[in-house]
Amino acid sequence: MTKTIGVLGCGWLGTPLAKSFLEEGHQVKGSTTSPTKLAALAALGINPYVIGLEEDMVVGDIAGFLKGVTVLIINIPPQLRKAPHSNFVKRIATLNSVLQESEVQEVVFISSTSVYGNVEGAITEETTPEPTTNAGKQLLAAEQLLMDTVKYKTTLIRFGGLIGPGRHPITFLSGKKGLKNGEELINLIHLNDCIFMIITIVKEGLWNTCYNGVHPYHPSKQAYYTTEAQKKGLVPPQYDKKTPKVYKKRIISRFFLTKKEYSLTSINV
């Protein structure tokens, strides 16, 4: 059944996601904060809008963007490293107030495994989050705000570190020295698998729940990034053997465990 789907945030993940929804036969509206990206989105068949979320208002034609949209993908990163004093929860609350008057019936909120903080061991969707960073705390509060909303159904996806075309942590870790977290475990996910999860949630109507999005391969950071650097001809990062407490968390995605027929994209790229 054809739906009109809104992708709020057409960046590295949102743009190929919107394209995949188009290939599934849906109509897609997409947002960007940059007017210069409108033509590129339109060329893909996406109906583009310039939308910005602020703490007290939504900038742009949000009414036009939401008109006819029944499924909304909220793919807006907190970006608290750039603006540590900004209030991401207020931005989501402002968006939520607008959604109360919309036709949106279902929401996918893209969150992060940072909400688990320093919880150790095997982490599932049933694990109680204990965020330690500003971003993790605000993401968890935003999750709760959306899940508590009765106007629409919400499903959360807590993605691990994102890798894929043009994006791999080794590109900025290469050559670095004195890194302290070499014995921690990686919790990554490929772009293809992110898109698969979101598309399947919408297709199968998997609402009012939460999924971790992490590939089930968890070597240590030192082992993984050394190997990846060597494969790419880069200088491997150097890890300090005298490290503080190591938090060995292995995040498990029950979504992938129940999709036996799906072939995961390797994170050894």
- Residue 262 pLDDT > 80: yes
pLDDT value at position 269?
Answer: 64
Buried b (16+ CB within 10 A) or exposed e, 146-173: bbeeeebbbbbbbbbbbbbeeebbbeeb
Q: What percent of the chain has pLDDT over 70?
A: 98
- Is-contact 135 114, C-beta < 8 A? yes
- Mean pLDDT of the 150-157 span: 97
Q: In the block, which residue shows the tokens 């498990």?
A: 252
- Residue 84 pLDDT > 80: no
pLDDT digits 0-9 by tens, 101-146? 999 999 999 999 999 998 989 999 999 999 999 999 999 999 999 9
pLDDT value at position 257?
Answer: 80
- Mean pLDDT of the 190-203 span: 96
Amino acid making up residue 235: V
- Mean pLDDT of the 38-55 span: 97
pLDDT value at position 245?
Answer: 65
- 159 forms beta bridges with 112, 213
Q: Which of 161, 26, 153 is nearest to 99 (CA)?
A: 153
Residue ranges of the domains in the chain? 4-164+190-216
pLDDT value at position 266?
Answer: 87
Specify the range with the lowest mean pLDDT, choosing from 70-74, 81-85, 160-164, 251-255. 81-85
pLDDT digits 0-9 by tens, 227-255? 999 999 999 999 987 766 677 899 999 98
Measure the CA–CA gap between 95 and 97, rounded to whole angstroms. Answer: 5
CATH topology of domain 4-164+190-216: Rossmann fold (3.40.50)
- Mean pLDDT of the 176-194 span: 93
CA distances from 66 to 6, 24, 40, 49, 108 (A): 7, 20, 20, 10, 15
**How confident is the prediction for the chain on average, in pLDDT?**
94
Q: What percent of the chain has pLDDT over 90?
A: 84
pLDDT value at position 181?
Answer: 87
pLDDT value at position 116?
Answer: 96
Give CA torsion, residues 214, 220, 222, 225, to 10 deg. -30
CA distances from 250 to 139, 188, 202, 219 (A): 20, 10, 27, 10
pLDDT value at position 53?
Answer: 94
- Is-contact 140 115, C-beta < 8 A? yes
For residue 237, give the DSSP letter.
Answer: P
